[in-house]
Amino acid sequence: MKEYTQAHPNLPIAVFPFYFERHDSKEKSIEVLKRYKDKMNIPFELFYGGKANKDTAAARFPMISGISAFPTMIILDRNNNIIRVHTGFDGPATSRYDLFKKEFEEFIGKHI
């Protein structure tokens, strides 16, 4: 999302990443998130979602019928209706990255 928002700074979109961490301590998890945000130079706020397990994530987002994988990206329209849910990692090191990027950009382009 960092790459996309930097490439399209004038698009009317907002990014709210929720992170679910493996640490038992909320304070430790928030510390890890702060270091990650600084190290990766992430331009938007990171939100602590809770302990990294599907039950915690499902409780945090009850409007989705279960979180089947991490990460999960929820895309809302202007009226805050869920219009797409993407699960799993399709980052630059994966074979699906180019296809994911193309489909994501087309989808966002149709809905803004």
Q: How far apart are CA 35 and CA 78, in angstroms?
A: 32
pLDDT of residue 78: 85
**Where residue 14 falls among pLDDT bands split at 50, 70, 90?**
confident
Contact between residue 44 and residue 15 where contact means Cβ atoms under 8 Å apart = yes
pLDDT (mean) for 45-58:
89
Residue 5 lies in a domain: no
**pLDDT(33) > 80:** yes
**Where residue 105 falls among pLDDT bands split at 50, 70, 90?**
very high
Residue 43 lies in a domain: yes
Helix (H, G, I), strand (E, B) or coil at 75: strand
Query: Domain range holding 39?
Result: 15-111
Contact between residue 49 and residue 60 where contact means Cβ atoms under 8 Å apart = yes
Total domains in the chain come to 1
Q: Tell me the CA end-to-end span of the chain in Å, nearest whole number.
A: 16
